Structure 1
Amino acid sequence: MLRNATTQHPILLVHGLFGFERIGPFELFHDVKQALNAIGAQVFVPHLSAIHDNEVRGKQLLWQIDSVLRGTGATKVNLIGHSQGALAARYAAALAPHSVASVTSVSGPNHGSEIADFLRKALIPGRLPEAVAQNVAILFFDFLSQLNGTRLPRNAVAALGALTTEGVGSFNDKFPQGLPKTWGGHGAEQVNGVRYYSWSGVVPELDVSPSDPVQGICRALSEYFITEPEQNDGFVGRFSSHLGTVIRSDYPLDHLGSLRRAVGRHPAAGDSIGLYVEHALRLQAANL
C-alpha cells in the first residue's frame, strides 16, 4: 500500500539552469512529480527563465508562487529547488517568508560551483592552458546537449557568473538564510518561519549506469574539482551544497541523477526518486 504524504502546503519543484521540458524522451521532473502525486502530494512545476541570474529567476518564482496560492487557496508553499533552482527558492523565501513554508535544496550550488569557476576562467585568455579549457568546455556543452538536444543560448556565458563562487558569494551576502556558519556544517533549521533542508550526492565510485552518457560526462567533469576532489556530483561540491538541515550530501548520485532515475540503473545506484517521497513524509511530519 502506498504511503500517504499529503503535505499541508503544495510542493513546487523548481528547475535550475538550462531548465527544459524534457530530457530525451523524459519530461523534466517527470519521475519526481509522478512519485509525489502517487502519494497524495499536490505538486506544481513553475517554469523560470532557462538561463538568467539568480535574482531574476527568483522574482519569476515569486510571481508563480502567488499564482499557485491564488489558484489553490493555500497560504504557503514548499519549495524544492534542483541545482540553480535552489538559489531561486532561497531568494523567494528571503523576500516573502510569509508565503514559503520550507526551502529544500537538492544538489544546489549554495556556495558556488567549481565547474562554473573553471569555465569562467577559461574565458579569460592566458588563464588556463588552451587544451584544458577546451576539454572542459566541450564536456559542459556535451552535457547540455544530452539534456535537450539544442544549442546553448547565446547568453550562457553571462549566466555562468551567477553560479561562480564569487557570484554566489555576492548572492549569499544579501540572502544568507539557512547557510552554515562553518564549511561543511549545517545551517539554521528555521529562519523567519521558513524551514531549510538540503541533500546532494557525489559521482558514484562504481559505474552504476554504463549506458547513461550523462553520468559519463559528470564523471569526467568531476576530475576538475580542486577544493572538493572526489566529493562532488560533477557540477556541485558536496559541502558547497549544504543548507539548513543537511539530510545527507554524499548519496551515490551525479548532478542529474538527483533528479531522475538513471538509464540502465544498477542496484548499487541511489534511489533518487525515493528521496523525494521520504522528504514529502518529512514535511508532512513537520506540519508543512
Structure 2
Amino acid sequence: MARKWNVRLQHAATPMRAVALSCGLLAAAALAVHAPPAHATAGDSATRVEARVTSDTAKTKYPIVLVHGLLGFDNLLGVDYFYDIPGRLAAAGAKVYVAQVSGTNTSEIRGEQLLQELKTIRALEQNPTLKFNLIGHSQGSPTVRYVAAVAPDMVASVTSVGGANGGSKVADLLAKLPEGGIGQTLVVKAVGLLTGLIGFLSGKDPSQLPEVPLNALASLTTAGGAAFDAKFPQGRPAPGSSCDVKSGAAVANGVRYYSWSGVSTSFNLFDPSDTALSTLGSLFFFGEANDGLLAVCTTRLGTHLGDYRQNHLDEVNQAFGNTYGSQFPYYEKKPPELFREQAARLKSAGL
C-alpha cells in the first residue's frame, strides 16, 4: 500500500476521484465567464507518496509531480484523483509528489500556487536547484505549462494527459449563459457548493487556495485557451494547425514536452462516467474525436505519445480503475501503465 506524506502533515492514504468529478469537470468548465482577478497565494500542500519499491523502471532523475484538473484534489476520503497511479510509480522507483491547487481558478493562478509548492519541495529536499517532471491532467496541463514558461530552470519535463490546452466547447456554451442571469447564477452556486465540499473533504485551505469558478471558466473556453497559448506557446502546435499535426516542439527553453489523450467515451458498459461523457461528446463535438469534454485536436502538446480509448476520467484511471483499458486489456494498456511507461521514458532521457 502506498503511503503519503504531506509537506506539513503525515497521513496514511490509499489511492479516487468520484463520478461527481465528471459532472464537476464539465460544470466547472462552464464556470468562468467574465471574472474579477484573484490573487495567487502560496500553496504548501504537495504530498509525497511512498510505497514498497519493487523495481527501478520508473526511477527518474528528477521527482514526478502530478497535478490535478478542474474541481480536482490530491486525495479525497482516502481515494486519489490519480487513482492507483502515484503508488505504482513510487513502487517502480519514482519519487512522486501529488500537488493540490485551487479546483476552480485561472490556469495562471493555479500555476503560481504550484510554483510555490515546488519551491517548498526544493527546501524540504535541501536542493535549491532541483528540477521536476510535471504531469498535468485536464486543466492541470496549462497549470504546469505556466510553471515551465515562467520558471524553466525548475522544470525538466512537462507531460499533458488529456490536457485542456486549447479550451473546450463545453466551456464555450456555459460562457454564453447571460451574465448575472438565473442560468449562470445557478451553475456558479452549484459548482461553488461542490468545490467547497471537495475542498473540505480533501483538506484544502481556502485562504491558501481560493476558489473562483468564473475564473476557471474564463481559462477553459476556446478563447481562453487561445489567449493562454499566445502568452505561453511552448510545446504547442502552431496556431491554425490542422488536426493532422499531432505534435508541437519537443523541447523549449530546455524543457521536454509530451502529451497523450483519450479519444473515446462509449466502450465500457461497466463505467458509469461513459454515459454522461458520451452524451456530452455527441452534443458538443459532432463527429470530432473527443474524450467527452475536450476535442482531441485541442489537447496536443510537444511529442505526441498516442491516443487511447479513454474518456476524460479514464485518463486518470477513474472511476476507481474501472476504465476501458482495464476491462479489455488485450486491446490497450491500462492508464497506470501509460504513466509508468512515461516515467521510464523520462528516465531513459536522463530526466
Task: Mark yes or no: TM-score above 0.5.
Answer: yes
Q: 2:66 aligns with which of 1, 10, 13?
A: 13
User: In structure 1, how many angstroms separate the alpha carbons of the residues matched to 2:332 and 2:275?
Assistant: 14
> Does structure 2 retain, via aligned residues, the 8 Å contact 1:24–1:148?
no
> Does structure 1 retain, via aligned residues, the 8 Å contact 2:263–2:308?
yes
Q: Which amino acid aligns with 2:67?
A: V
Q: Residue 46 of structure 1 corresponds to which residue in structure 2?
A: 99
Q: Residue 343 of structure 2 corresponds to which residue in structure 1?
A: 280
CA distance 1:104–1:49, change in 2 (3 Å): same
CA distance 1:276–1:40, change in 2 (3 Å): same
CA distance 1:204–1:154, change in 2 (3 Å): closer
CA distance 1:43–1:149, change in 2 (3 Å): closer
Q: 1:55 aligns with which of 105, 108, 117?
A: 108
> What's the RMSD between the two structures over aligned residues?
3.0
Q: Residue 162 of structure 2 corresponds to which residue in structure 1?
A: 107
> Does structure 2 retain, via aligned residues, the 8 Å contact 1:203–1:230?
no
Q: Residue 187 of structure 1 corresponds to which residue in structure 2?
A: 248
Q: Residue 156 of structure 1 corresponds to which residue in structure 2?
A: 213
CA distance 1:65–1:157, change in 2 (3 Å): same
CA distance 1:63–1:22, change in 2 (3 Å): closer
> Does structure 2 retain, via aligned residues, the 8 Å contact 1:22–1:148?
no
User: In structure 2, how many angstroms separate the alpha carbons of the residues matched to 1:154 and 1:85?
Assistant: 15
Q: Which amino acid aligns with 1:56?
A: I
State how many pairs are aligned.
Answer: 272
Q: Which amino acid aligns with 2:219?
A: A
> Does structure 2 retain, via aligned residues, the 8 Å contact 1:59–1:92?
yes
CA distance 1:148–1:61, change in 2 (3 Å): closer
User: In structure 2, how many angstroms separate the alpha carbons of the residues matched to 1:40 and 1:69?
Assistant: 19
- TM-score between the two structures when normalised by the length of structure 2: 0.70
* Unpaired runs of at least 5, structure 1: none
User: In structure 2, how many angstroms separate the alpha carbons of the residues matched to 1:122 and 1:107?
Assistant: 26
| Equivalent position SS for 1:157 | helix
Deviation (angstroms), 1:16: 1.1
1:1-288 → structure 2 map (5 Å cutoff):
2=55, 4-22=57-75, 26-72=79-125, 73=127, 75-123=130-178, 155-181=212-238, 182-184=241-243, 185=245, 186-206=247-267, 208-210=268-270, 212-226=271-285, 229-248=287-306, 250-261=307-318, 262-263=321-322, 265-267=326-328, 268=331, 270-288=333-351
| Equivalent position SS for 2:283 | coil
Deviation (angstroms), 1:97: 0.5
User: In structure 2, how many angstroms separate the alpha carbons of the residues matched to 1:22 and 1:13?
Assistant: 12
User: In structure 2, how many angstroms separate the alpha carbons of the residues matched to 1:70 and 1:51?
Assistant: 27
Q: Percent identity?
A: 41
* Unpaired runs of at least 5, structure 2: 1-53, 201-209
Deviation (angstroms), 1:263: 2.6
User: In structure 2, how many angstroms separate the alpha carbons of the residues matched to 1:194 and 1:163?
Assistant: 24
User: In structure 1, how many angstroms separate the alpha carbons of the residues matched to 2:116 and 2:229?
Assistant: 22
> Does structure 2 retain, via aligned residues, the 8 Å contact 1:253–1:269?
no
> Does structure 2 retain, via aligned residues, the 8 Å contact 1:209–1:263?
no
Deviations along 1:78-109, whole A, 9 cap, x unmatched? 00001101101000000000110000000001
User: In structure 2, how many angstroms separate the alpha carbons of the residues matched to 1:180 and 1:188?
Assistant: 7
| Equivalent position SS for 1:66 | helix
| Equivalent position SS for 2:105 | coil
| Equivalent position SS for 1:224 | helix
Deviation (angstroms), 1:14: 0.6
> Does structure 2 retain, via aligned residues, the 8 Å contact 1:54–1:88?
yes
Deviation (angstroms), 1:69: 1.9
Deviations along 1:93-143, whole A, 9 cap, x unmatched? 0000011000000000111111111221244699xxx9xx99xx7xx97xx
Q: Which amino acid aligns with 2:227?
A: S
